[in-house]
């Protein structure tokens, strides 16, 4: 980032702002596109909001995002508001114009771009919205704009669902939306619906919570879209998938609301390939996984277990998942089906894990990073740590181990050295950090991993 006399400032007004992901989105876009903008969060209290907007304009700030609790009140201080913002009664993006800032609701536009990216056409569909807060109102407006057939809004507080239904029906002169309490799904016709989960239930650390627990509800779901994205696979999504439905989280909504804001500020169109690079960066940051790679015997399982225990991560060992799926030991898979078959299994298991894991330490099989496509998947899973060990230590640790298919034969030592010469540069290249583990206590390695994780 090179700040000079032409640098333009963009920012976020919110309270609090410390956990925002927006700087990752916008500063990555500026870097990728070579645009001289810098994005900064501004902790702004309710009572100072008007001065903050006026001051930002005077300071020639190019644009702003607004987040909780300012999305509604900030509208009073704008010179214009787009149709979506007016209808939803909330804006999250302020674009500089000659007379002041104009407000937009790019949350709704971002969700629509996410939905379209999955090939979902809302027109003519029956939709269920769970929740009746600010996000649900944006979903309801999107459904109306996209001409869905019918919307059922179910909420714990029924009156709030009724408010949205009445308001939107009046605005669009229709009776497209009906409201009910959460249990009212039992009254629905038994067919498939597109379901938007827009309550705050299931947010990390309450990973196992779902706003509706009843399995019967999920039989109604064709596609479930959870606006929550942390955990990466929410309990709602898991239940949808178990019932045979497709399920997505709201991370792409977050991505696209940011990209649309950036497009508005800079009057450009961001290419999908650029959006994908930003998405990979978001994935890495938000999922909070740690991936351990390295040669057999480097201590991935032991370090993984210690990391999980000390820092409250879940733990997954890819070799264990493969053995559970295959129902036999890896040495048996090698013996009966060969290495290629095993490597394909590895790639498939990794792709499945990639669709679901967050807040997890993933200990990988020694050969897993050798395939280029696996290396890419590991990077999008999280922070990749190569545990770099000397061959002498491996020989010492694995002496007498008969379960390692690649070390069987007359001269395991020669085999280890040869394999390490070949694999080490590949591990290095696929990792965010390389940690030398020879002779180090596990507790020291754990601290080194976490220090690097926080700095990354």
User: Nearer Cβ to ligand NAP, position 81 or 201?
Assistant: 201
Q: What is the smallest separation between the CB atom of 433 and ligand NAP, expressed in angstroms?
A: 29
Q: What is the smallest separation between the CB atom of 188 and ligand NAP, expressed in angstroms?
A: 18
- Single out the residue of 94, 254, 278, 384 in contact with ligand NAP (rule: CB under 6 A): 254
Tell me how far apart the alpha carbons of residues 157 and 173 are, in angstroms, rounded to a whole number: 24
Q: Is 300 labeled as catalytic in the residue annotation?
A: no
- Single out the residue of 63, 131, 304, 430 in contact with ligand NAP (rule: CB under 6 A): 131
Q: Kindly report the CA angle at 131 between 255 and 150, in degrees rounded to 5?
A: 90
Task: Rule CB under 6 A: say whether 156 interacts with ligand NAP.
Answer: yes
Tell me how far apart the alpha carbons of residues 206 and 30 are, in angstroms, rounded to a whole number: 34
By the 8 A CB rule, do 407 and 416 touch?
A: yes
| Cβ burial, residue 218 (10 Å; 0-12/13-18/19+) | buried
Task: Rule CB under 6 A: say whether 134 interacts with ligand NAP.
Answer: yes
Q: What is the smallest separation between the CB atom of 203 and ligand NAP, expressed in angstroms?
A: 5
CB under 8 Å to 16, separation ≥6 — which residues?
43
Task: Rule CB under 6 A: say whether 177 interacts with ligand NAP.
Answer: no
Q: What is the smallest separation between the CB atom of 183 and ligand NAP, expressed in angstroms?
A: 11
- Single out the residue of 95, 148, 211, 435 in contact with ligand NAP (rule: CB under 6 A): 211
User: Nearer Cβ to ligand NAP, position 234 or 363?
Assistant: 234
Between the CA of residue 413 and those of 27, 206, 419, what are the distances in Å? 49, 48, 10
DSSP string, 97-127: ETTEEEEE-HHHHHHHHHHHHTT---TT-EE
Q: What is the smallest separation between the CB atom of 144 and ligand NAP, expressed in angstroms?
A: 17
- Residue found by looking up tokens 């009843």 in the block: 214
- Residue found by looking up tokens 């899973």 in the block: 381
Task: Rule CB under 6 A: say whether 307 interacts with ligand NAP.
Answer: no
User: Nearer Cβ to ligand NAP, position 229 or 342?
Assistant: 229
**What residue number has its CB nearest to ligand NAP?**
133
User: Nearer Cβ to ligand NAP, position 105 or 375?
Assistant: 105
- Cross-strand partners of 95: 63, 102
Pairing of the two strands 360-363 and 193-197? unpaired
Q: What is the smallest separation between the CB atom of 140 and ligand NAP, expressed in angstroms?
A: 11
| Cβ burial, residue 74 (10 Å; 0-12/13-18/19+) | buried
Task: Rule CB under 6 A: say whether 157 interacts with ligand NAP.
Answer: yes
- Single out the residue of 257, 288, 354, 375 in contact with ligand NAP (rule: CB under 6 A): 257
Tell me how far apart the alpha carbons of residues 31 and 330 are, in angstroms, rounded to a whole number: 44
CB under 8 Å to 364, separation ≥6 — which residues?
291, 292, 293, 300, 318, 378
Task: Please choose, from the candidates 364, 435, 360, 366, the residue with its C-alpha nearest in 3D space to the C-alpha of residue 397.
Answer: 366
Site string for ligand NAP, 84-113 (x = CB under 6 A): -----------------------x------
Tell me how far apart the alpha carbons of residues 167 and 418 are, in angstroms, rounded to a whole number: 71
Please give the residues from 186 up to 205 whose contact with ligand NAP meets the rule CB under 6 A. 198-201, 203
- Stretch in the footprint of ligand NAP (CB under 6 A) among 26-34, 154-162, 215-223, 420-428: 154-162
- Single out the residue of 78, 136, 148, 322 in contact with ligand NAP (rule: CB under 6 A): 136
User: Nearer Cβ to ligand NAP, position 280 or 331?
Assistant: 280
Q: What is the smallest separation between the CB atom of 294 and ligand NAP, expressed in angstroms?
A: 35
| Active-site entry in 54, 71, 238, 246 | 71
- Single out the residue of 11, 84, 103, 250 in contact with ligand NAP (rule: CB under 6 A): 250
| Residues designated as active site | 71
Site for ligand NAP, rule CB under 6 A: 107, 131-136, 155-157, 160, 198-201, 203, 211, 227-229, 250, 253-254, 257
């Amino acid at each position: 980032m090179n700040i000079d006399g032409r640098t333009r400032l963009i920012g976020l007004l919110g309270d609090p702002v410390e956990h925002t992901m927006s700087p990752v989105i916008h500063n990555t876009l500026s870097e990728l596109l070579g645009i001289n903008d810098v994005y900064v969060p501004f902790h702004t209290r309710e009572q100072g909001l008007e001065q903050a907007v006026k001051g930002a304009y005077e300071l020639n700030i190019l644009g702003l995002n607004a987040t909780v609790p300012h999305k509604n009140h900030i509208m009073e201080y704008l010179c214009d508001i787009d149709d979506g913002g007016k209808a939803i009664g909330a804006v999250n993006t302020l674009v500089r114009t000659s007379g002041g800032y104009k407000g937009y609701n790019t949350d709704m536009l971002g969700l629509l771009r996410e939905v379209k990216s999955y090939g979902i056409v809302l027109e003519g569909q029956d939709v269920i919205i769970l929740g009746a807060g600010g996000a649900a109102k944006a979903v309801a407006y999107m459904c109306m704009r996209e001409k869905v057939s019918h919307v059922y809004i179910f909420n714990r507080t029924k009156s709030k669902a009724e408010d949205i239904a009445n308001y939107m029906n009046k605005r669009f002169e229709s009776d497209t939306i009906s409201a009910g309490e959460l249990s009212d799904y039992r009254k629905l016709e038994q067919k498939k619906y597109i379901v938007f989960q827009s309550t705050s239930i299931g947010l990390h650390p309450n990973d196992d919570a779902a706003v509706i627990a009843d399995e019967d509800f999920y039989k109604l779901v064709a596609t479930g879209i959870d606006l929550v994205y942390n955990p990466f696979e929410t309990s709602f999504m898991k239940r949808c998938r178990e019932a045979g439905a497709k399920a997505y989280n709201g991370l792409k909504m977050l991505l696209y609301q940011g990209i649309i804001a950036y497009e508005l500020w800079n009057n450009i169109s961001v290419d999908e390939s650029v959006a994908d690079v930003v998405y990979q960066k978001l994935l890495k940051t938000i999922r909070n996984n740690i991936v351990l790679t390295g040669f057999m015997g480097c201590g991935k399982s032991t370090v993984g277990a210690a990391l999980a225990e000390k820092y409250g991560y879940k733990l997954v060992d890819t070799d264990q998942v493969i053995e559970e799926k295959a129902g036999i030991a890896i040495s048996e898979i090698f013996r009966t089906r060969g290495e290629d078959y095993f490597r394909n299994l590895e790639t498939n298991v990794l792709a499945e894990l990639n669709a679901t894991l967050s807040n997890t330490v993933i200990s990988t099989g020694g050969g897993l990073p050798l395939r280029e496509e696996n290396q890419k998947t590991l990077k999008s899973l999280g922070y990749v740590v190569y545990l770099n060990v000397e061959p002498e230590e491996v020989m010492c640790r694995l002496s007498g181990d008969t379960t390692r298919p690649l070390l069987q034969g007359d001269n395991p030592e020669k085999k280890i050295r040869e394999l390490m010469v070949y694999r080490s540069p590949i591990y290095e290249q696929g990792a965010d950090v390389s940690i030398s583990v020879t002779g180090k206590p596990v507790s020291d390695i754990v601290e080194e991993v976490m220090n690097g994780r926080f700095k990354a």
